[in-house]
Chains A and B, each alone.
Chain A
Amino acid sequence: MALVAHSRHRMVHPVAWWAWGIGLAAAASHTTNPILLVLIVVIAAWVVVERRELGAIDAFVPFLLIGLGAIAFRVVMTVVFGNGIPGGTIILDLPSVRLPSWVAGIRLGGPVSLEGVVAAAAEGARLATTLACLGAANALASPKRLLRYAPATLYDIGTAVVVALTFAPQLVELAGRVRTARQLRGHSGRGLREVARIIVPVLSGTLDRSLDLAASMESRGYGRVPALSRRQRTGASSLALVGAAGVVAGLFGVMSPSIGGVFGLPTLVLGVLVSAGALMVGARTDTRTAYRRDPWRSPEWILSAMGAAVALSFLLAESRGIPGMALAQVPLAWPELPWVPAAILAACALAIPATPLPPRLAARRRGLTHVSPPQGEVS
């Protein structure tokens, strides 16, 4: 407690949490070993519980549910269509239908093998775990905070999104009031026709407010920073075009090595870099400043290092064919645990001691326990 209190409660830079979450997600997408997958989910869940950003919507559980849905979907598809796994253990024999040849002679139903179902579930679990990691990133640092770090070239768009996020709850409330008002005019407020009726007053109300908002923004200096000069703009535009063209060419090269040869991947990478550069060029000349940015210090470095390490170790382990990265399908066997990637993965749980407790969570815990004194008195 004393250690954390000394370093004062602060928010960790959102980009760091996203690097951590995406690293885990990338790792998850390179294994079908259920032990590793479960370990990833457990670590993500634990860190979310200890370090989540209160006040933001908790995205972890919904993402987890979507993931479970993905597993169920894969299994059902496998049961209905069957798959190519030559499994011997038949657990269910459905009546089968063979479709005519114009739909490629597909067989529906028929015997369902345990091996096939397990393989499908493992594939589903891989997707589910990847999603869970992204859900964790959403819960640890709300995307809204991430928005503040968008490059200045996206300033207008960022502002539009901020405006949208500010307005949306007001809209929902307005829609509720309009619906109530429908009842005052003798309507039930239900049904498609009613929905159509509600749209107009909600829309005209919000559009009127949008003009007020624009007046307020204009009066407060919005748009005062001159957009890029013509030369800078053409520069940025041509850079963007070259980058995008590079990406297109690179992608086709990568996908069809027979045409693109070995240049596919380098072109793609180059294209991506140039595109990112186009984003940064404009940002350099921008004079707008930012209020109270989260600093990037050791916790942030540690988090992003963890993300990179775990993603890299899984990628290498899979490409080297280290046993235990993939689930053995035929015959089914309990997988062994690849120790090195697993250890690096376990180290990701150290994100908890490495980062300070977010202020709101800290405040809530103090409120709940009434044991710890207020933060000022500790240090």
Chain B
Amino acid sequence: MLLLTTIVGGAAFLWPFFADHTFSEVHGQDLPWLFAVVLGLLALVLLSQVTSVGLDAKQVAVLGVLAAVGGALRVLSAGTAGIEPLFVALILGGRVLGPGMAFLLGNLAMVTGAFLTSGIGPWLPFQMLTAGWVALGAALLPRVTGRAEVALLTAYAAVSSFAYGAVMNLWFWPFLSASAAPTGASFEPGASVLTNAAHYGLFYLATSLGWDLARAIVTSGLVALASRPVLRTLRRAVRLAAFADA
């Protein structure tokens, strides 16, 4: 299920590169909305599947509280360029919780942020998915300990900051594809993958590289500084909560 959602998600972001010429020309403007709806629905189905075994009270509480950390950080940092400590919560939280819970955490943190600001918009499903990926990635990184783990997570924080920006920009890029699009940086329906990739690259450079750079610096800096004590605190909590009974 996670795989299928990821495929749909990938399609949602990457369709401008592959979609059929005529189709894109006619429906290019509607597709991002269509994907927002479809992706939102699939995210819900995925969430219901992941939790169909029933989360116990502790899991719900820990997830809820960590999502609150993420959501609150998002609200606090709203509008400050690049300062997105949310990523720290996602990466470190995801690292400790393990893949399934990590993906949930990413989703929930974004939902919480959106609810807190009453900001449910078409971008939310995309953010949920991408944040889920970021947290999932942290959980899937190889197991190392001590300084190596700090270094690994710091590097991952930097990489994922850029990746998040690049992927998130993709979803609204096609809005530029209408007849009045700026030349050279916009989506050209029917053009080759390479052309469009080059166009997108330019678009990305022009619009969000600066922000993502700031985000990468802040996030990896915070991860480098805070990851050791934070991971220990989180692991202690997970240990305390792990009195699973039969």
Q: Which A residues fall within an 8 A CB radius of B? A: 26, 29, 56-59, 62-63, 74, 77-78, 80-85, 99, 102-107, 116, 119-120, 122-123, 127, 130-131, 134-135, 137-139, 142-144, 147, 151, 153-154, 156-157, 159-169, 171-172, 175, 192-193, 195-197, 199-200, 202-204, 206-211, 213-215, 217-218, 222-223, 226-228, 233, 236-237, 240-241, 243-245, 247-248, 251-252, 254-258, 268, 272, 275-276, 278-279, 282, 329
Q: 27 A-B Cβ contacts within 8 A?
A: A74-B176, A74-B180, A77-B185, A81-B183, A84-B181, A116-B180, A130-B122, A154-B51, A156-B54, A157-B47, A160-B67, A160-B104, A161-B112, A163-B67, A164-B67, A165-B115, A168-B116, A171-B69, A207-B65, A209-B65, A210-B241, A222-B57, A236-B48, A240-B45, A244-B8, A272-B38, A282-B52
Of chain A, the residue at the smallest CB distance from B33 is A29
Q: Are A138 and B112 in contact (CB under 8 A)?
A: no
Q: Are A247 and B180 in contact (CB under 8 A)?
A: no
Q: Are B225 and A193 in contact (CB under 8 A)?
A: yes
* Additional A-B contacts beyond A161-B115, A163-B67, A241-B1 (6; CB < 8 A): A26-B33, A157-B104, A207-B65, A214-B57, A215-B57, A247-B38
Q: Are A160 and B64 in contact (CB under 8 A)?
A: yes
In the complex, which of the residues B45, B63, B64, B181 contacts A275, with contact meaning CB atoms closer than 8 Å? B45
Q: Are B108 and A164 in contact (CB under 8 A)?
A: yes
B53 contacts partner chain A, Cβ-Cβ < 8 Å? yes
Where chain B touches its partner, the secondary structure class is: helix
In the complex, which of the residues A102, A153, A165 contacts B68, with contact meaning CB atoms closer than 8 Å? A165
Distance in Å from the Cβ of B91 to the closest Cβ of chain A?
Answer: 12
Q: Are A62 and B180 in contact (CB under 8 A)?
A: no
B135 contacts partner chain A, Cβ-Cβ < 8 Å? no
Distance in Å from the Cβ of B121 to the closest Cβ of chain A?
Answer: 5
B151 contacts partner chain A, Cβ-Cβ < 8 Å? no
B76 contacts partner chain A, Cβ-Cβ < 8 Å? yes
In the complex, which of the residues A135, A156, A175, A206 contacts B60, with contact meaning CB atoms closer than 8 Å? A156
Q: Which B residues fall within an 8 A CB radius of A? A: 1, 4-5, 7-8, 11, 15, 18-20, 22-24, 29-30, 33, 38, 41-42, 44-49, 51-58, 60-65, 67-69, 71-72, 75-76, 85, 88, 104, 108-109, 111-112, 114-122, 175-176, 178-186, 195, 198-199, 201-202, 206, 218, 221-222, 225-226, 229-230, 233-234, 236-237, 240-241
Q: Are A248 and B4 in contact (CB under 8 A)?
A: yes
Of chain B, the residue at the smallest CB distance from A209 is B65
Where chain A touches its partner, the secondary structure class is: helix
Distance in Å from the Cβ of B27 to the closest Cβ of chain A?
Answer: 8
A105 to B198, CA, bound (A): 11
Q: Are A123 and B180 in contact (CB under 8 A)?
A: yes
Instruction: Using A134-B121, A252-B11 as known contacts, say yes or no to A160 and B20 having CB atoms under 8 A apart.
Output: no
Distance in Å from the Cβ of A358 to the closest Cβ of chain B?
Answer: 15
Q: Are A272 and B41 in contact (CB under 8 A)?
A: yes
